[in-house]
Each structure stands twice: as structure tokens, then as C-alpha cells.
């Protein structure tokens, strides 16, 4: 009997052990330790954090490139980026324009407001945003207000280095083989300080490089018969100039409609066009070369540039025409959204460091650019030159 009791006791102990092991196996995992919990919580917060970026542009009919740039980013970052347009009658509806910009700060999730309108009068909007929501990152890409005021009330200002092109364009033309530089403009343009300053820099640079400088004044499209008279003058004058100075002549005009004639005549006469006044593959090239660009390829600049290059090669003009690979009016709005997104998500990203901005432009936009401060004391107002594309 003793043996039986002992055996029963042993069996009971074994059963109890099995039950305990089963219970332990089904138990919930241990909670994270105090050291582990904050990290897990931070990761979860990062996954679920939501914020908004506003990109404000003119309407499609007012300024196509800026509008398309803003619209493209709203598609790329759907739900995060909000694309808002300003009233078409900017000058007469300035107060509405200002309130449109300011109203974006009413969104509690708004982290950045970008304005890419190329217009002036919006400083009050940024002053009000800074008063209401100093936490919001503000960027212009660009607007044309007083740079000192912009630097004071806006976190980051981006624009093209229009004046510096008075050096870069003649320098590039010289590298492309130009011996003469001809500058076409008209009175109302030459009265603009920026254009006058750039012209003076072009002349000075040509003299330093040993290039002959020639200045030609065309009929004024803003006071006369419109662009037609100016274009007809160019059509007649360009052959005369090439006959006198030869094919190794750079032609530069200060007005966009000039390039329908300039590029067309370049393909016939063989002179050099280092850059348009607004360097972009979509100005004059498609029309003059008869490119058939589908709607879906309208912003595929790699493809458009390849099409231009092929047509230029057929004309025997390889290396005689150049520009920028992407319209700056597309580049700046899109790049500004990328910068805002990066700055919001990475607190170590320094929007006031030119090398950081240059590297990030190459990473996100695929374009090499060079930034410099508009004035030495302005650490948040940067102007840029884009790398060239040679056809």
C-alpha cells in the first residue's frame, strides 16, 4: 500500500508540473521594459504622425509652370500637400490673395506654407503667419517683394540668380566657341534695373574674355505693335549680323517671344545660343523643331531634351545650342516642397546651408544647382544657377 501511495503522489506531481508548463506557455509576453517603451512609442508616433504642406501658385491660365509644379506635388504627396491657387486678378484682389495665404495657417496640421507666384505684395501675409503660427515653415519660390523684408519675415527665399547670369552666359558662350556677343533688347526692358545691370555685367564679362560686344535695340513690343514687329526686325537683322561677324556669334535676347525667331534662325544660320532669357527646354524649341509631345510627356523633361538633341543633331548644330534641363518655374516650386518635407521630418536638415540645399537638389530633382546668398548678410535668401544641358 505504501508503494501505491508513493506512486500516486509521484504521478500527481508530474501532472501538476505539466499543467504549470502549459499555463506558462500560453501566458502573454512580458511588457517592454522602461528603457524599451519610449523607443517603441516614438517609432509608433513617427508612423502615424500626420502633417500638411501648402503650395500656393497662380492659376493655370495665369502661370502654367508654377501651377503644374504645385499640382504635381499634390499628386506625388497626396493627402500631405495641398495645392491652392491665388485669384487670377492679383493686382485688384490683393487682399483676397493675402487672406488666401494666411488662411492656410488655420489648419492645425499645417507645418509649411510655400508661395510660388512671381508676384509682389504678399509680405503682409507672411507677417500675419509669423504672428499666428511662428512654428510654420514659410518658403517663397519666388515672390518679388523687397528682399530685406522677405529675409525678415520669411524663413527661406529661393529665386533664380538673374544678375549672375550676366557672367555665366557670356562665359558659357565663349566656351561654346563664340567670338562675338550680340545683345538684343528694347527701351522698356532696358529701363528695368535688373536687366540693365545684367547687360552691364555681360558687356564687362565679354571685354574680360576678349569677345566683341554688340548691342542692338529692337522695336518695343510693350509700347508699339506688340511682339510681331520685334520678331520681324529680328528675322531681318540676324542674317545681317551673322554676315558681318560670322557663325561664331552668340545671340541673346531679353524677351521670351524673341526666341521663336532666334532659335529658328540659329538652325538656319548656325550661330550660337548659349541660353534663352528664361532657360527651359519648353520655350521655342518644341515649336521651332516641330516636336510632337504628348500630354503625358509634357513634363517629362528627360524625354523632351532627348527629342531636342536628336533634332538639333539632324540640323548639324550639335553643341551650338544650350539651356537648362528643367524650367526653373517648375523646379523651384517642386524643390521647395521637397525641402519643406525634409525639414519637417529631419530636424538636422539645415535650410540655411547652401551645400545642403545643393546636395538635396541633386538627390531629389536630379539637377545640379549652385546657390549663393543674394546679399552676404542674408542667410535665408538664396539665388541659384542650374547646370547646363548642351544640345
* Predicted model pTM: 0.83
**Among 273, 227, 224, 280, residue whose Cα is nearest residue 253:** 273
- pLDDT of 120 > 60? The answer is yes
Both 130 and 205 in a single domain? no
Same domain, 183 and 246: yes
Domain of 347: which CATH number? Answer: 3.40.50.11400
- 7 assigned to some structural domain: no
Question: pLDDT at residue 364 above 80?
Answer: yes
What is the pLDDT at residue 224? 74
pLDDT score at 83: 98
Mark whether 317 and 172 lie in a shared domain: yes
Do 110 and 52 contact (CB within 8 A), yes or no? yes
Say yes or no: 241 and 297 in one domain. yes
Cell numbers 508513493 label which residue? 6
Q: Are residues 185 and 295 in the same domain?
A: yes
Residues spanned by the domain of 302: 165-325
| Whether 249 contacts 271, CB under 8 Å | yes
Distances (CA, A) of 62 to 67, 68, 258, 331: 9, 11, 20, 18
The SS3 assignment for 272 reads strand
Q: pLDDT-based confidence at 49, cuts 50/70/90?
A: confident
**Residues 252 and 203 sit within 8 Å (Cβ to Cβ):** no
Q: Do 201 and 309 have their domain in common? A: yes
* pLDDT of amino acid 223: 87
The length of the chain in residues reads 391
What sign for the dihedral angle of Cα 91, 96, 99, 100? negative
Q: Does residue 6 carry a pLDDT above 50?
A: no
**pLDDT tens digits along 301-317:** 999 999 999 999 999 99
Provide the H-helix boundaries in 77-109. Answer: 94-103
Other beta carbons within 10 Å of 136? 20
Domains in the chain, number: 2
Same domain for 154 and 53: yes
On the 0-12 / 13-18 / 19+ scale of CB atoms within 10 A, 224 is middle
Q: pLDDT (tens digit, 9 = 90+) per residue, 323-349?
A: 999 999 999 999 999 999 999 999 999
Residue 136 lies in a domain: yes
Joined grid coordinates for residue 128: 500675419
Query: What value does the mean pLDDT take over residues 69-93?
Result: 96
The CATH number of the domain where 196 resides is what? 3.40.50.11390
* Omega before residue 93 within 30° of 0, cis: no
What's the pLDDT at 387? 97
Asked if residue 12 belongs to a domain, the reply is no
Same domain for 333 and 321, yes or no, is no
Residue found by looking up cell 545683345 in the block? 183
Predicted pLDDT of residue 11? 45
Angle at which helices 354-365 and 328-345 pack, to 10 degrees? 110
pLDDT of the residue at 8: 45
CA-to-CA distance for 243 and 180, rounded, in angstroms? 12
**Does a structural domain hold residue 357?**
yes
Amino acid at each position: 500500500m505504501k508503494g501505491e501511495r508513493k506512486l500516486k503522489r509521484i504521478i500527481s506531481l508530474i501532472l501538476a508540473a505539466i499543467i504549470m508548463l502549459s499555463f506558462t506557455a500560453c501566458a502573454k509576453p512580458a511588457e517592454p521594459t522602461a528603457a524599451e517603451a519610449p523607443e517603441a512609442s516614438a517609432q509608433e508616433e513617427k508612423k502615424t504622425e500626420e502633417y500638411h504642406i501648402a503650395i500656393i501658385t497662380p492659376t493655370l491660365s495665369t502661370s502654367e509652370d508654377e501651377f503644374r509644379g504645385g499640382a504635381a506635388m499634390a499628386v506625388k504627396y497626396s493627402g500631405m500637400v495641398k495645392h491652392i491657387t491665388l485669384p487670377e486678378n492679383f493686382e485688384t484682389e490683393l487682399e483676397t490673395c493675402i487672406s488666401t495665404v494666411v488662411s492656410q495657417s488655420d489648419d492645425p496640421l499645417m507645418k509649411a506654407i510655400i508661395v510660388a507666384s512671381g508676384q509682389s505684395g504678399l509680405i503682409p501675409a507672411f507677417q500675419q503667419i509669423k504672428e499666428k503660427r511662428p512654428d510654420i515653415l514659410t518658403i517663397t519660390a519666388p515672390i518679388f517683394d523687397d528682399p530685406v523684408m522677405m529675409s525678415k519675415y520669411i524663413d527661406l527665399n529661393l529665386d533664380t540668380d538673374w544678375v549672375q547670369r550676366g557672367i555665366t552666359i557670356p562665359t558659357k558662350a565663349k566656351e561654346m566657341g563664340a567670338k562675338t556677343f550680340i545683345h538684343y533688347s528694347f527701351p522698356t526692358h532696358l529701363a528695368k534695373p535688373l536687366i540693365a545691370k545684367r547687360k552691364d555685367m555681360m558687356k564687362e564679362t565679354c571685354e574680360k574674355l576678349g569677345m566683341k560686344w554688340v548691342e542692338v535695340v529692337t522695336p518695343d513690343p510693350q509700347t508699339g505693335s506688340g511682339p510681331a514687329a520685334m520678331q520681324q526686325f529680328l528675322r531681318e537683322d540676324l542674317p545681317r549680323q551673322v554676315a558681318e561677324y560670322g557663325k561664331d556669334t552668340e545671340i541673346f535676347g531679353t524677351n521670351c517671344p524673341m526666341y521663336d525667331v532666334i532659335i529658328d534662325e540659329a538652325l538656319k544660320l548656325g550661330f550660337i545660343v548659349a541660353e534663352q532669357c528664361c532657360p527651359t527646354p519648353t520655350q521655342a524649341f518644341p515649336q521651332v523643331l516641330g516636336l510632337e509631345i504628348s500630354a503625358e510627356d509634357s513634363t517629362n523633361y528627360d524625354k523632351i531634351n532627348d527629342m531636342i538633341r536628336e533634332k538639333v543633331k539632324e540640323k548639324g548644330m550639335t553643341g551650338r545650342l544650350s539651356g537648362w534641363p528643367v524650367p526653373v518655374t517648375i523646379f523651384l516650386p517642386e524643390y521647395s516642397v521637397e525641402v519643406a518635407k525634409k525639414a519637417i521630418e529631419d530636424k538636422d536638415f539645415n535650410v540655411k546651408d547652401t551645400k545642403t540645399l545643393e546636395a538635396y537638389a541633386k538627390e531629389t530633382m536630379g539637377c545640379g544647382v549652385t546657390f549663393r546668398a543674394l546679399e552676404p548678410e542674408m542667410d535665408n535668401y538664396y539665388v541659384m544657377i542650374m547646370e547646363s544641358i548642351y544640345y
